[in-house]
């Protein structure tokens, strides 16, 4: 089967200057015979240099990335860079419009669909365009995520390690360190190959991920961390002058940690309302209770505890109170050094 995308655009990826336009995905729902789903894209280019692909809105309830990239599209002068930026601030446009993690069109999670399908559902087609078209133009990839509506998470930059290429992992560590977030987290989504960062690493791109905000709202400190971090990475890659890089605020202590595989995740054992016992950043011990699931419609039933499976520090915790069995209610990280 052909891998050729049917998405079209009037963007000239080789032209100098700033272009702001759309990727047009042919879409024919009940109320539109020959319509398209327009996906915003901008290309800012100035001469020769690295190409960096910047993505926001992978999940539609994570708002900091689209805001940061939207500001960059509006404010950045091409003369400030040397190379090319391909910016897609709301890549999962239907989900961004709906404020949902998953697409309201096909119900799919964009970040579990790589490498996509050029003739699949809407989400699969957009993913395919990123994977087969945009990745092929890029040297580096920045994927700006936040905690979304289900997690309250510590602002961080994410390293996606390469199992096969130690040199690429080292480059990823360098780029993520340059980002300058309070936390650097080594995280591979339990080895899931369908994520954007995993696919970008397999494609050989220097890859930086983030988890910037929390709770499905716009965080001012996350916007500051993310805006500063994106410019720092572009300076690190040589796309912007080194003077564009900014030091973290005085008093910020950066820390390198990792999620220790499946042991780092705590899941709801039953349906109900979760009461967390710990704030983000708290030090916890293996076997300690992470919180209780309460049964509000059955007050005579004792709550059920969820327990930590390893010792470490709370990196993220459940945001909405109501949970279903298997919902992630906490994530624990451990120090990278020595681990």
CA nearest to 246, candidates 262, 267, 229:
229
Domain membership of residue 83 (yes or no) is yes
85-128: pLDDT as tens digits:
999 999 999 999 999 999 999 999 999 999 999 999 999 999 99
Whole-number pLDDT of residue 248: 75
125-149: pLDDT as tens digits:
999 999 999 999 999 999 999 999 9
Domain membership of residue 311 (yes or no) is yes
Shared domain for 28 and 45, answered yes or no, is yes
Query: Does residue 2 carry a pLDDT above 70?
Result: no
Domain membership of residue 43 (yes or no) is yes
Quote the mean pLDDT of the chain.
Answer: 94
Q: Among 230, 258, 286, where does a domain finish?
A: 258
Shared domain for 149 and 218, answered yes or no, is yes
Whole-number pLDDT of residue 153: 93
Residue 250: pLDDT band by 50, 70, 90 thresholds? low
Domain membership of residue 180 (yes or no) is yes
Shared domain for 243 and 324, answered yes or no, is no
Q: Once rounded to an integer, what is the mean pLDDT over residues 36-47?
A: 97
Q: Among 228, 258, 288, where does a domain finish?
A: 258
Domain membership of residue 1 (yes or no) is no
Whole-number pLDDT of residue 228: 96
Query: Does residue 189 carry a pLDDT above 90?
Result: no
Whole-number pLDDT of residue 339: 45
Shared domain for 38 and 102, answered yes or no, is yes
Shared domain for 61 and 197, answered yes or no, is yes
Largest Cα–Cα distance in the chain? 70
Whole-number pLDDT of residue 115: 97
Q: How far apart are CA 158 and CA 183, in angstroms?
A: 8
Please state whether the peptide bond connecting residue 115 to the residue before it is cis, i.e. omega within 30 degrees of 0: yes
Q: How far apart are CA 16 and CA 204, in angstroms?
A: 25
Shared domain for 248 and 302, answered yes or no, is no
Shared domain for 167 and 306, answered yes or no, is no
CA nearest to 276, candidates 214, 330, 204, 339:
330
Shared domain for 188 and 324, answered yes or no, is no
Shared domain for 176 and 305, answered yes or no, is no
Domain membership of residue 3 (yes or no) is no
Shared domain for 286 and 242, answered yes or no, is no
Q: Report pTM.
A: 0.94
Query: Does residue 243 carry a pLDDT above 80?
Result: no
Shared domain for 270 and 157, answered yes or no, is no
Whole-number pLDDT of residue 329: 97
Q: Among 214, 239, 258, where does a domain finish?
A: 258
Is residue 325 left, alpha or beta, with left meaning phi > 0 and alpha meaning psi from -120 to 50?
A: beta
Domain membership of residue 125 (yes or no) is yes
Strands (E), the chain: 8-9, 17-27, 35-46, 51-55, 83-88, 140-143, 151-153, 156-159, 183-186, 206-211, 255-258, 265-267, 272-276, 283-284, 289-294, 304-307, 312-318, 322-323, 328-335
Whole-number pLDDT of residue 251: 65
Domain membership of residue 106 (yes or no) is yes
Would you tell me how many other CB atoms lie within 10 Å of the CB of residue 212?
Answer: 29
Residue with tokens 């930086």: 208
**Which tokens hold the place of 109?**
């999670």
The count of structural domains within the chain is: 2
Residue 173: pLDDT band by 50, 70, 90 thresholds? very high
Shared domain for 109 and 247, answered yes or no, is yes
Whole-number pLDDT of residue 263: 97
Q: Which domain CATH number covers 27?
A: 3.40.630.10
Which domain does 215 fall in, by range?
A: 8-258
Q: Which domain CATH number covers 271?
A: 2.40.50.100
């Amino acid at each position: 089967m052909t891998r050729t995308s049917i998405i079209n655009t009037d963007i000239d990826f080789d032209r100098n200057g700033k272009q702001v336009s759309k990727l047009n995905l042919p879409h024919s729902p009940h109320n539109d015979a020959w319509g398209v789903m327009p996906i915003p894209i901008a290309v800012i280019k100035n001469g020769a240099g690295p190409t960096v692909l910047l993505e926001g809105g992978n999940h539609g309830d994570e708002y900091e990335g689209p805001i940061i990239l939207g500001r960059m599209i509006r404010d950045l002068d091409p003369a400030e860079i040397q190379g090319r930026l391909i910016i897609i601030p709301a890549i999962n446009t239907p989900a961004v419009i709906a404020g949902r993690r998953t697409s309201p069109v096909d119900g799919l999670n964009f970040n579990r669909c790589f490498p996509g399908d050029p003739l699949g559902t809407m989400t699969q087609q957009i993913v395919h365009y990123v994977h087969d078209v945009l990745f092929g133009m890029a040297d580096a990839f920045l994927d700006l995520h936040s905690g979304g509506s289900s997690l309250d998470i510590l602002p961080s930059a994410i390293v996606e390690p390469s199992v096969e290429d130690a040199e690429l992992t080292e480059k990823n560590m360098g780029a993520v360190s340059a980002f300058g977030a309070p936390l650097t987290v080594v995280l591979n989504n339990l080895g899931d190959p369908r994520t954007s960062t995993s696919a970008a690493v397999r494609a050989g791109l220097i890859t930086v991920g983030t988890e910037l905000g929390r709770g499905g709202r716009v965080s001012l400190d996350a916007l500051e961390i993310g805006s500063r971090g994106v410019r720092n990475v572009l300076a690190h890659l040589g796309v912007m002058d080194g003077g564009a890089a900014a030091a973290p605020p005085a008093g910020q202590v950066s820390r390198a940690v990792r999620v220790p595989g499946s042991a780092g995740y705590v899941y709801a054992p039953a349906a109900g309302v979760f009461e967390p016992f710990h704030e983000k950043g708290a030090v916890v011990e293996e076997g300690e209770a992470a919180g209780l699931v309460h049964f509000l419609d059955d007050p005579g039933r004792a709550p059920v505890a969820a327990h930590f499976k390893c010792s470490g520090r709370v990196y993220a915790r459940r945001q909405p109170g109501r949970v279903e069995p298997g919902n992630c209610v906490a994530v624990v990280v451990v120090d990278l050094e020595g681990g």
